[in-house]
């Protein structure tokens, strides 16, 4: 069986798309109601690599002059709202790891608070499922994402966010000295919650994958945390995003309970 690091790397590399012999990383996208984002974007920032590539090919079929460069393809995807946000990337690669190591479904091990689901049930798109009020009233305080998906006919990755991936119901806190592939690094950026998934761990370096839009990067990428202060927390190490990791504000490293002891 492949190692956890290999499984995670292979799943991440699926977002390294290839079209017409040009290879490019999937750009970042999140459905916010402010420019440049728009709420009717296809796949709403939650698409799988296969879905994104298929949507891009449909666009290219209607384009007289297709891009010739990596930046050209990424720009075209952004123009049409094609990309992936950090929680969708995390869901994709962790779903693969959970399935390969446990033969289980990640959505069965993630949870949403009942109040969140009751609030979402007021949306017209959710009401189409016809879930009755008695059924809503009988829901437990924490509902698995899998059950929510079944009830409301939703795609589980579309209703998963950073908070649900890192919630105490689904995860356990991990110390910096115990980090392993598959652990999640919860951060708080100027734009809100952010998440990276640890891909590999070495004595001098921790590598994680994420998707974000910042000046230095746009989309799926790998980032390295250089261990310059062994035995200390991640906020004491050398890495580009250290300013977004604030344990005093609740940022932390956490591990899915379903993966504890499996990696």
Which DSSP string corresponds to 30-73?
Answer: ---SSTT--TT-GGGGB--HHHHHHHHHHHHTT-SS---SHHHH
244: pLDDT strictly greater than 90: yes
pLDDT of 17 above 90: yes
252 vs 54: CA distance, rounded Å: 36
Does the predicted TM-score (pTM) go above 0.85? yes
Lowest mean pLDDT, pick from 52-56, 183-187, 215-219: 215-219
Residue 216, pLDDT above cutoff 70: no
The three-class DSSP label of residue 180 is coil
pLDDT at 59: 95
For 159-172, the pLDDT digits (tens) are 999 999 999 999 99
* Cβ–Cβ under 8 Å, residues 45 and 30: yes
137 pLDDT above the threshold of 80: yes
What number is the average pLDDT over the span 106-132? 95
Residue pLDDT, tens place only, 55-102: 999 999 998 899 999 999 999 999 999 999 999 999 999 999 999 999
Of the candidates 63, 78, 66, the residue with the CA atom closest to the CA atom of residue 25: 78
């Amino acid at each position: 069986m492949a190692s956890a690091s290999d499984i995670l790397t292979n799943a991440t590399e699926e977002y390294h798309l290839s079209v017409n012999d040009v290879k490019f990383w999937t750009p970042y996208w999140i459905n916010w109601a402010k420019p440049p984002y728009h709420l009717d974007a296809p796949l709403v920032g939650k698409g799988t690599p296969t879905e994104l590539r298929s949507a891009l090919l449909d666009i290219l079929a209607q384009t007289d002059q297709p891009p010739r460069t990596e930046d050209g393809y990424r720009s075209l995807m952004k123009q049409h709202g094609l990309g992936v946000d950090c929680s969708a990337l995390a869901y994709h690669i962790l779903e693969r790891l959970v399935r390969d190591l446990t033969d289980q479904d990640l959505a069965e091990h993630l949870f949403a608070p009942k109040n969140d689901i009751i609030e979402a049930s007021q949306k017209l798109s959710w009401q189409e499922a016809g879930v009755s009020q008695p059924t809503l009233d009988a829901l437990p305080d924490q509902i698995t994402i899998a059950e929510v998906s079944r009830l409301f006919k939703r795609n589980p990755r579309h209703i998963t966010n950073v908070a649900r991936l890192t919630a105490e119901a689904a995860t356990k806190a991990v110390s910096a000295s115990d980090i392993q592939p598959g652990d999640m690094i919860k951060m708080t950026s100027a734009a809100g919650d952010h998440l990276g998934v640890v891909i590999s761990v070495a004595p001098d370096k921790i590598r994680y994958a994420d998707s974000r839009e910042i000046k230095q990067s746009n989309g799926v990428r790998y980032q390295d945390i250089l261990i310059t202060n062994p035995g200390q927390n991640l906020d004491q190490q050398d890495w580009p995003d250290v300013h977004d990791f604030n344990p005093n504000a609740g940022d932390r490293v956490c591990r899915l309970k379903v993966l504890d002891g499996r990696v």
